[in-house]
Amino acid sequence: MFKYIFRRTIYMVPILFGVTLLTFTLFHVVGGDPAVLAAGKHATPEQIELIRQSLGLNRPLYVQYFQFLHQIFTLDFGRSWSSRQNIWTMFTQGVGPSLSLTLPAFLIAEVLTISLALLLARWRDSLFDRVTKITCLAMLSLSSLVYILWGQYVLAYKWDIFPISGWDPSWAGRWEFLGLPIVIFVLLSLGSNILFFRTVFLDEIYHDYVRTARAKGLNESGILFKHVLRNAMIPIITRVVQEMPFLILGSLLLESFFGIPGIGGLVVLAIQNADFPVIKAMTFLSAVLYMIFQLISDVLYAVVDPKIQLR
């Protein structure tokens, strides 16, 4: 396993170089002149040239690319064009608020959806199963903005259960403002997750080992929790682990609408302000996190299923 992890880590290096080259090309060649975007549409040619010189955009592209590589390897991504803050400091400051929102919401959503999916598999083709499937499809058809605006208007404004938006940096005070975003995060996860896990469990139910377990006299609940759930861990791990990078990177819409100073809101502001250094840094960090958690999922496959050989 350690040899496999080492090889996979080595394989990440050329992939990361490809990511850096593609990211740099998109932002500096395909995306237009960064100096013009940073200066704004009302800037004069003299102002644009001053910005180009101050940001180092007048140097050759290969020099700028090697500077970008140096920033990556030293984890010093420079400063934001709009706020002039250190980008790595902005990232580390935003991780806490983002995880405060996404981690508890993610855990609640996964436990709830897996439990409901097992119940649907237990009472498949019943009225409960059909109504839940229709409800999940209806939830999937609604935009995320519908949930956010409904939560802010009904739950926060009309019923006064939660604050509409805001943030308290203290550990105890932040949960007052995180209640409504967590509820909406869970609601957004229900539809797709329930349908996915239900399909996974039903696929396992029709295997031969389930019929053998029934022939031995095991009840349906025992079969579901002791056999079906364990044998369905591979697709569950795949889905859960692939969502992990987005927990660290935050939720763009929720953080923006509820005033949470996390990484998601940081990315939205960077896009609005054409803050290329921040966007490039977040693009690269997203790729790194995705590859790391993909490796973790492969290792977990071998842990939950001894038949899988890591080569």
Helix (H, G, I), strand (E, B) or coil at 86: strand
Structure tokens at 218: 């095991």
Interval 274-301: pLDDT, tens:
788 888 888 888 888 888 888 888 888 7
For tokens 């499809």, the residue is 137
What integer pLDDT is reported at residue 30 of this predicted model? 62
What is the rounded distance in angstroms from the CA atom of residue 221 to the CA atom of residue 119? 9
Mean pLDDT for back-to-back runs of 10 residues, the chain (311 residues): 80 85 78 68 77 78 84 83 85 90 93 91 89 92 90 92 90 91 93 91 84 81 80 85 82 88 87 82 86 84 67 58
Let me know the angle formed at the C-alpha of 244 by 238 and 249, rounded to the nearest 5 degrees. 145
Report pLDDT for 52. Answer: 79
Rounded Cα–Cα distance for residues 288 and 40 (Å): 32
Domains identified in the chain, total number? 1
Q: What is the CATH number of the domain that holds 182?
A: 1.10.3720.10
The reported pLDDT for the residue numbered 148 is 92
In degrees, to the nearest 5, what angle opens at C-alpha 89 toward C-alphas 81 and 68?
Answer: 55
Is position 297 within any domain?
Answer: no
Q: Specify if 224 maps to a domain.
A: yes
Domain assignment of residue 157, yes or no: yes
Residue 258 lies in a domain: yes
- What pLDDT does residue 311 have? 58
- Whether 74 is covered by a domain: the verdict is no
The residue range of the domain holding 229 is: 96-273
**Cα gap 290→300, rounded to integer Å:** 15
Model pTM greater than 0.95? no
Residue 198 lies in a domain: yes
Burial of 295 (0-12, 13-18, 19+ CB in 10 A): middle
Whole-number pLDDT of residue 40: 67
- Does the residue 71 lie in any domain? no
- What whole-number distance in Å separates Cα of residue 262 and Cα of residue 198? 33
- List beta partners, residue 86: 79
Cα torsion at 133, 135, 141, 146 (round to 10°)?
A: -150
What's the pLDDT score for residue 305?
A: 65
> Rounded to whole angstroms, how far apart are CA atoms 64 and 55?
10
Extract the tokens encoding 167.
């943030």
Residue type, 255: E
State the residue for tokens 């992939």. 15
Which DSSP state fits 239?
H
Quote the DSSP letter at residue 126.
S
Judge whether 115 lies within some domain.
yes
pLDDT score at 114: 92
Query: How does pLDDT run across 143-201, given as a tens digit for each residue?
Result: 888 999 999 999 999 999 999 988 988 888 899 999 999 999 999 999 999 999 999 98
CA distance 129 to 126: 5
